[in-house]
Amino acid sequence: MTTRKNASAELAENAANEASEPKSKEELILEAAEREFLIKGYAGARTVAIAEAAGVTHAMLHYYFRSKEKLFEQIMSRKIHILRDLMMESVGNHGMPLFEKIRLTIENHMKFLAANPDLPRFLVNEVFGQPERMGMIRKMIEFHAPRVVESLQRQIDEYASRRECRRVDARMLILDFVSLNVFSFVAMPLANVLMGDLRIGSERFLRERTKENIDTIMRKLKP
């Protein structure tokens, strides 16, 4: 009998496999495109430069993805699917106690950010202010978010009915911990000044910041 790996273990295994196995042309293009977008922004990204960095011809890039817009959409779709799987690993686990579920959800979200430290600022600077790009991201989130919110709200309501936690809006709770986790990465230059030798992204920072954010959210939930 086989068991399904949890999302974080699967991601770690995939990373190890990627380090040891030759990457497909498609994967090389996506990795090069992600770097190009994050460094130069959407408008500054060039498919010619992406193809060169990936070691493929420009024609091959267009064969796989057709356009810069399709490349961007594929990258964002992959990120959202990874984040969804990490969230559902905890939120979708119906046998997990609520407070353990919240702790693991915050930890998994912070791990995702640590693996993609430039993504929050890119979204703020390059996506949220652009209606056409934000529309695409919004559709993806609207497709996945209800499962996460509804599952979490049911358990909060069950615990609140037994007076084991406060009755809170799951949507607000998710916004609370997402905001807490994301801020340090969005404001990384300022945060690095404030934190001194505790550099943003270091293992110690991530460990201490995750604990602080978990404590903050738990205080909101406890009756």
Is there a contact between 134 and 120 (Cβ–Cβ < 8 Å)?
Answer: no
Give the three-class secondary structure for 200: coil
Q: Note the pLDDT tens digit of each residue in 80-108.
A: 889 888 888 888 888 899 999 999 999 99
CB atoms within 10 A of CB 84: 20
Q: Could you give the percent of the chain with pLDDT greater than 90?
A: 50
How far is it, in rounded angstroms, from Cα 42 to Cα 88? 30
Q: Note the pLDDT tens digit of each residue in 166-208.
A: 999 999 999 999 999 998 788 777 767 777 666 666 778 888 8
Is there a contact between 124 and 186 (Cβ–Cβ < 8 Å)?
Answer: yes
Element (H, E) at 61: helix 58-65
Give the mean model confidence (pLDDT) for residues 52-66.
Answer: 95
Is there a contact between 83 and 111 (Cβ–Cβ < 8 Å)?
Answer: no
- For the full predicted model, state whether its pTM sits above 0.85: no
Q: Rg of the chain's alpha carbons, rounded to an integer?
A: 19
Give the mean model confidence (pLDDT) for residues 66-71.
Answer: 92
